[in-house]
Structure 1
């Protein structure tokens, strides 16, 4: 009984870490793609389309890593979207502020 609880807690923890890591890395990758495609023109709405595309692409990646995205609640989907957007926003802001071009 005790080993089952430990196993379930460990699986839940690994699931959470995996979802957070994929969403965070997806946001950073979206910022790099935004910087490559748009350069220093942060006025274009294409940046938001890139973020949405990365949010959509993250779900099959999570499935490939063994996460059952069919069990995701609305809260889980919002969490993934928020983490991706947040990391995209911060990373792209840093790139724009420093004038980084690719």
Structure 2
């Protein structure tokens, strides 16, 4: 019933989820760059998956009902985080940035 009263609630929820997932992926890339010495190591993936867990907690704090998430929603958050982590860390490694 509350969804009918606020037609923008679903849109705002989607914006929160997408923003947190994408910014989390960028943050995971910078953390990976700072903590992982060998880019071939799988430790960077652990950083990324750890940040996915942090993102879900952050979403809960920002009022997104994570309990309503299905498999598709969890996959979306993990994929968006992975995609931005992969691209950002790839750019950082290619540019030779050291943090």
Is TM (by shorter chain) over 0.5?
yes
1:5 Cα deviation after fit: 3.8
Question: Residues 29-71 of structure 1, C-alpha deviation per residue, up to 9 Å, x if partnerless?
Answer: 00000000124x2111100000110011111100000000000
SS at match of 1:43: coil
Q: Where does structure 1 lack aligned partners over 5 or more consecutive residues?
A: none
Looking at structure 2, the residues matched to 31 and 10 of structure 1 have their Cα atoms a distance apart, in angstroms, of 32
- For the aligned residues, what is the CA RMSD? 1.2
Greater Rg over alpha carbons, structure: 1
2:36 corresponding residue in structure 1:
38
* TM-score normalised per structure 2: 0.93
Q: Where does structure 2 lack aligned partners over 5 or more consecutive residues?
A: none
Instruction: Tell me which stretches of 4 or more aligned residues in structure 1 moved more than 2 Å.
Output: none
2:98 corresponding residue in structure 1:
101
2:75 corresponding residue in structure 1:
78
* TM-score normalised per structure 1: 0.91
